[in-house]
Structure 1
């Protein structure tokens, strides 16, 4: 059993639940880029010039827009809905950031990009057209807004002079958006759209795959974080055990290791260090009763820094490890 072919790209798009070139409203004729543009000139039952009708609820579209929490792209000739599916360029020329009802119309606030302002200033596009998902003839969610040249909605001041069928121009626009030659036939457009539809991924599958990817990414980030923390801890504890640093400087080196570059630097520094404190052989013995207390590590580090500064001033700079050794010997002989 064969499936009957659809008569036009508009019908094929609507079969997939997406409506293009539905209602088109005029932009200012002075070439300015308005802050608010009209998506639907009226709320309720809207009929286009080609006879299609849709039920438009401002509350429904505003609720879906707020629930999505994303800005809507403003593109050229519905490139977001057609060319992007084939891997073509679908750059935005502006972003819709807010919806409102105004004088019985549904409008969107636009943050225009430089290219969008330039196109409007040159008056290359005089109309805007929303694309939206529909169910049973009712608009349920906005998808994008396009700058177009072909009006679909009659009864607007800027459209009063436009008579006759718009189908030839519409076919030309759709062919261009699909990446085909302007003179492509209806059959060629239908074939391309059918291939796109057949190769598309269902939204539920896409969302599930994306959720799984995000979960795996989170797990990988946790593993990487734990491995990095273990690497820093092992490095610092190893340096303390080898007496390359004193406990008073532990936090200082931990801070240095907070970046990848700092961690690499500290690893190289420790690798070239000699023990700052000579081994005493008493590490595992209980301290003797009475006698002098060992040097305060903070004071010892300060003394080493002073020795290092004096050596540098005398024109014979030394490393901090050597300075610690000298400071330790000086403290032992005092």
Structure 2
């Protein structure tokens, strides 16, 4: 059966009188020093350490105890209610009291921090005033544990005067509660926050900024260049230039071959070679279509001088078709024929 630990060293005998409430009980105390504000007054913190990490003992020798974080958090979630903080553990003796047993605060949330159990507390105005006036300075949680000392559930806590454990002072808790006024104002200005920003709101904004930076870092890492998949721009340009040269050379060779074939077929005069090469390089398909339809205007590789001369003054039907295909006037075509005739003579 789980036992309950609570109180301080001076209430050990008092605890035994209530053994029927939760089986075997011990008067184990877990206590914290509430932190001091810069001007010296004590301020009740929002987050407090409730159970230390690892194996721990009380100052009175009780223990060892060890925190089962998962079990405690699960029990709190299943309970579904806020846990009370009272004065001097009066809740444990509530049945024997005739008057009210007021709460000093309520534990609204539990969280793990560096292996220890922390709780977010909503203090009552009266308790906050008592803490500011130094009438209460220590917090003593009440928890259940098994025979092996494993802490299984948190029952609540009480404001008390006698600490039994050496725990992290609340002044060392993570957050902005103990931040200097100058640093606080500078951070508020840097983040462009309202002047009414509270320390907890500032911490939340700082956490947002940290999360955003982490996300940007992750994104940047995911975009890192894989050397196996990418090449330097200079190398890419060099390869592209070589490819362009090779393509131009191939195009020139193909154009030369096409023009040579057309001239060999007698469809181009030697004077038309430069024009034909330019045409074949720019539009290979267009030149191929032209060469296929063009009439034979010279005889093979060596034009027949007599044939050219005899037709220099008279254009045949084939000559007129050639004029249309070449975009030349009949006079220009006839002049070329005469020039060829003179060259052949």
**Is this a same-fold pair by TM over 0.5?**
no
Q: Which has more radius of gyration?
A: 2
**TM-score, normalised relative to structure 2:** 0.40
